[in-house]
Amino acid sequence: MNGIRLLALAAVLYFLALATGLHVLYYLGYVLAAVTIGSLIWARMNLSAVEIDRGARVDSLQVGQIFEETLTLNNKSVFPKLWVEVRDRSNLPGHRTSCVMSLTSRQRKSWRVRTVCRQRGVYKLGPVVMVTGDPFGLFRFWRRKPQVREVLVYPPLLDLAAFGLPSTELSGGAQVRSRSFNLTPNAVGIREYVAGDPYNRIHWPASARQQRLMVKEFELDPTSDLWIVLDMEMAVQFGNPTAVPNIPRAQDDDKPDPRASEDYIGDTIGQPVYLPPSTEEYGVAVAASLAGRLLADKRAVGLIAWGQHHEVINVDRGSRQLLRILRSLAALKAQGRAPIEEVLAAESVRFARGSTVIVITPNVDEKWARSLGTLTQRGIKAVAVIVEPATFVKPNEHQPSSSMLVVGTLAATAVPSYLVKHGTPINVALAQGLGGVKVMR
């Protein structure tokens, strides 16, 4: 608009010069027109031959880790660029890469941005918009680089070494005399290779001795399946999952105490972790940490969570299973409509006799506790982790019911339970069971 106004003013001066015959008006009109046209050409050329590239070392991290990205602005022209503004449209919380800089002839400038990942989720890096103009501020031109890449922030994995579970050993002894088609920790013998056997089962020392391919045979794991059932019903959640967690700041060059914040939940990968005061975020962190702990113990773990969609990950073991569970939990939102007791009833066909079900919920209704007690009558072991909703609301907000009734119902059905409260680290809360449990080793 400034350029249009200046051109209009030049035209007015030209007509006034024609009407009055004053040469000074001619000169002013010519100068204004020349400045306007020159500024337009300058602004247009200032954005030509300018490229921006962005690169990150990794595209998946955990809450508490630092995401590092390098951006490079490259002037491929012989003409210097007075100023170029970079506007980044990334939605990773706290990731600010926008800046303004000048470039000389064929100059490259790079800058690095480090962002602490504070919240799980799937985020987009980009698009990037480059904006520039002339020295007089008459014209602005912009170019959009539409390339977008995703960065995945997994929930944190806390050390839950003190968490206890009912014994997961199947009845009938320490061995199950049945061959398994999957890899298990129990290799019991070798046999001759048959077409179709996977190569990772070949026993190379035995093959060298026998002068023919030999493969390892495995037995079923004598421990039962473990199912993590995460309650993602929207109606029972409390707190704000998008709130910025309270992180203690250093004062007078002193290292801050991470426990000074009530949003501190524990340490992972050598970094203190803070979560928003939300039952949804705490429940997801508990589910991820339990999956990491149990899979590290070489257990077969599955996940059930009815959020924005029905998420079911069948039981399996190993690092790939952990990656599948973390990827699912990273994008999961508490937008479910079904109460946890309905989820247990619908998915109970997956629970074999002797398996263990770990329910994580902020629901303080006794219905789901009675449903869990019914499962135990079928020979299914159960554990409840209750995310105490009353600790996630402010004093002036609506207070949910106490969890004591549901804890009492669980105790009456001999189901061990744990209480996770806002302000108490999760690893501490899960080391203090409300019922007798036998700790897994």
Domain harbouring 411, CATH code: 3.40.50
**Residue 437 lies inside a defined structural domain of this protein:** no
- Say yes or no: 25 and 88 in one domain: no
Judge whether 371 lies within some domain: yes
Number of domains in the chain: 4
| pLDDT reported for residue 47 | 84
pLDDT per position as a tens digit, 363-390: 999 999 999 999 999 989 999 999 999 9
Q: Are residues 421 and 392 in the same domain?
A: yes
| Angle (deg, nearest 10), helices 366-376 and 340-347 | 20
Confidence at residue 399, expressed as pLDDT on a 0 to 100 scale: 84
**Is residue 187 domain-shared with residue 287, that is, in the same domain?**
no
How far apart are the C-alpha atoms of 257 and 248, rounded to whole Å? 7
And the tokens for 227? Answer: 């199912």
One-letter amino acid at 1 equals M
Low-confidence ranges of the chain (pLDDT < 50): 169-182, 220, 222, 436-441
Kindly state whether residues 384 and 269 are assigned to the same domain. Answer: yes
**CA separation for the pair 173, 400 (Å, rounded):** 46
> Considering the domain boundaries, does residue 99 fall inside one?
yes
Task: Please check whether residues 395 and 320 belong to one and the same domain.
Answer: yes
**DSSP designation for 160:** -
Is the same domain home to 406 and 322? yes
**The pLDDT of residue 386:** 96
Residue 340 located in a structural domain: yes
Q: Reduced to 3 states, what is the DSSP secondary structure of residue 421?
A: coil
CATH at residue 73 = 2.60.40.10
Chain CA centroid to CA 405, Å? 34
Which pLDDT does position 434 carry in this prediction?
66
Note whether 287 and 418 are same-domain residues.
Answer: yes
Q: Which amino acid is at 119?
A: Q
Residue 52's closest CA among 81, 32, 10, 21? 81
* 113: in domain: yes
Judge whether 22 lies within some domain.
yes
Q: Which residues pair with 129 in a beta bridge?
A: 87, 144
87 and 36 in a single domain? The answer is no
DSSP state of 36: H
388 domain residue, yes or no: yes
Q: From 93, 47, 112, 44, select the one nearest 74 (Cα to Cα).
A: 47
For residues 104 and 192, state if they share a domain.
no
Does residue 123 share a domain with residue 37? no
Find the domain containing 22 and state its range: 2-46
Contact 76, 33 (CB under 8 A): no
Statement to judge: residues 244 and 365 lie in one domain: yes
- For the stretch 85-113, pLDDT in tens is 999 999 999 999 999 999 999 999 999 99
Identify which of 201, 171, 200 has the alpha carbon closest to the alpha carbon of residue 188. Answer: 201
Domain assignment present for residue 162? The answer is no
Helix then strand then coil, in percent of the chain rounded to 5, is 30, 30, 40
Residue at 112: amino acid letter: R
Alpha helices in 200-241 (DSSP H): 204-210
The answer on 397 and 328 residing in a single domain is yes
